[in-house]
Amino acid sequence: MLIEEALNLFIMSRKHGTSGAKKKARPRTIDAYRDDLEPFVTFLIERGIVTYEALKKSDLMAFLEKVDATPTWGEATKLKVLRSLRAFFLWVDKDEDCRDEGLKSWYKALPSIPKCKPRKFVPDRPSLKRFMQSIPIHTKVGMRDYVLVSLLMDTGMRVGELCLLTLDHVKLDERRIIIPEMGKTGTRLVTISMDMARLLKGWIKQRGDTPLTDRVFTNQYGRAANPGTFDKMFNRYRKRSGVKGITPHTLRHCFCTYFLEGGGDIAKLQAITGHSSLDMLKDYLHLSGQSLAEEQERVSPLRQVKVAKIAS
């Protein structure tokens, strides 16, 4: 089997959720697999290896050495390539056609990936304000950018959900938004602030009618904006404002932290953000200066009634 053929079969299995995949991968994940594995395929072809059967452990080790020695790749990029390579070889191990072909999985030959606790960077309020002030709201693109950044801050949405948001999802009269279903979570309903409703109303009017898409946020050509559009946009405003570390996901961290810091309930936060479990939100309690014990002390109905004094 050709190396490129094996790669395409792997991509198709992830796309359709087969051969050991837990679920269908999102389009952005599929693109990431392609980007991460392309250097591996190119490396093998340059060594004269075009079929999977010709792959040897020495070839794999040589590729890993090249990855470690590539100065333009940071540690995060190197780990990302390694994760995709592990996923590819795990697929070879589980796929029936690969087993019938007698293809060997090199999964066990790969180094283990260290478990790193995700870094939840939360910028302070002056930094957020400086970042927002760098957006030129007097232009149409600037107005779009300001509104979408505001929406991320106001709701804690994921950037993928933001890309799928249509005009029908926005209920301005009710000050609510139906957040569309994405790979991780189903559809949910969230309330937006009065300021956010005003900003969205202004943007939708500025956006105008376009026959190309019903998405709320469009690019300069009137087509649906994608995560890549937002990545470039955030990079532009980071440079302009001098504020490092702010990304769409950083704003999700901001929403969670400041929601709890302001006295919000952790269970309600889970309903708003679509986190799969409360355990995933415990770190935000720490970042906001709260603890589960403090939250319990604040909201317990027992505090509202007279408690008999019992000698201890």
Q: What is the pLDDT of residue 234?
A: 93
Contacts of residue 77, Cβ cutoff 8 Å, sequence gap at least 6: none
- 283 inside domain: yes
* CB-CB contact of 52 with 46 (8 Å): no
Tell me the CATH number at 105.
1.10.150
Q: Does residue 104 sit in the same domain as residue 131?
A: no
Q: What is the pLDDT of residue 267?
A: 79
Percent of the chain with pLDDT over 70: 84
Q: What is the pLDDT of residue 210?
A: 85
* Higher-pLDDT residue of 121, 101: 101
Identify the band that residue 312 occupies on the pLDDT scale cut at 50, 70 and 90. Answer: very low
Q: Does residue 145 sit in the same domain as residue 244?
A: yes
Residues 197-222, mean pLDDT to the nearest whole number: 90
Range of the domain at 203: 125-292
Q: Does residue 94 sit in the same domain as residue 136?
A: no
Strand order in the sheet with 170-171: 170-171, 176-179, 188-191
Tell me the CATH number at 174.
1.10.443.10
Q: What is the pLDDT of residues 86-100, one digit of tens each?
A: 999 999 988 888 888
Q: Does residue 65 sit in the same domain as residue 190?
A: no
Query: Both tokens of residue 141?
Result: 């693109």
Tokens 């395929």, residue located: 41
Closest CA to 33 of 86, 108, 96, 76: 86
Q: Does residue 142 sit in the same domain as residue 257?
A: yes
Q: In whole angstroms, what is the distance from residue 281 CA to residue 257 CA?
A: 9
What is the number of domains present in the chain? 2
Contacts of residue 272, Cβ cutoff 8 Å, sequence gap at least 6: 155, 156, 188, 190, 259
Q: Does residue 164 sit in the same domain as residue 135?
A: yes
- 230 inside domain: yes
Q: What is the pLDDT of residue 296?
A: 54
Q: Does residue 61 sit in the same domain as residue 138?
A: no
* Higher-pLDDT residue of 36, 21: 36
- 88 inside domain: yes
- 63 inside domain: yes
Q: What is the pLDDT of residues 154-192, one digit of tens each?
A: 998 888 889 889 999 999 999 999 988 775 567 888 899
* Higher-pLDDT residue of 297, 188: 188
Q: What is the pLDDT of residue 88?
A: 93
Residues 116-136, mean pLDDT to the nearest whole number: 83
Q: Does residue 194 sit in the same domain as residue 248?
A: yes
- 299 inside domain: no
In Å, what is the CA distance from 303 to each residue of 40, 297, 298, 307, 308? 62, 8, 8, 8, 12
Q: Does residue 207 sit in the same domain as residue 233?
A: yes
Q: In whole angstroms, what is the distance from residue 312 CA to residue 310 CA?
A: 6
Contacts of residue 120, Cβ cutoff 8 Å, sequence gap at least 6: 253, 257, 283, 284, 287
* Higher-pLDDT residue of 300, 146: 146
Residues 103-124, mean pLDDT to the nearest whole number: 78
Q: pTM for the full model?
A: 0.65
Q: What is the pLDDT of residue 297?
A: 59
Q: What is the mean pLDDT of the chain?
A: 84
- 218 inside domain: yes
Q: What is the pLDDT of residues 225-261, one digit of tens each?
A: 888 788 889 999 999 999 998 999 889 888 888 888 8
Dihedrals phi, psi of 72, to nearest 5 degrees: -85, -5
Q: In whole angstroms, what is the distance from residue 67 CA to residue 39 CA?
A: 9
Q: Does residue 73 sit in the same domain as residue 147?
A: no
* CB-CB contact of 165 with 180 (8 Å): yes
- 181 inside domain: yes
Q: Does residue 263 sit in the same domain as residue 180?
A: yes
Closest CA to 102 of 138, 53, 172, 164: 53
Domain boundary among 109, 138, 165: 109
Q: In whole angstroms, what is the distance from residue 145 CA to residue 214 CA?
A: 17
- 117 inside domain: no
What's the per-residue H, E or C state across 44-99?
HHHCCCCEHHHCCHHHHHHHHHHHHHCCCCCHHHHHHHHHHHHHHHHHHHHCHHHH
Strands (DSSP E) contained in the chain are 170-171, 176-179, 188-191
Answer yes or no: is pLDDT of 287 > 60: no
Percent of the chain with pLDDT over 90: 39
Q: What is the pLDDT of residue 79?
A: 87
Q: What is the pLDDT of residue 289?
A: 54
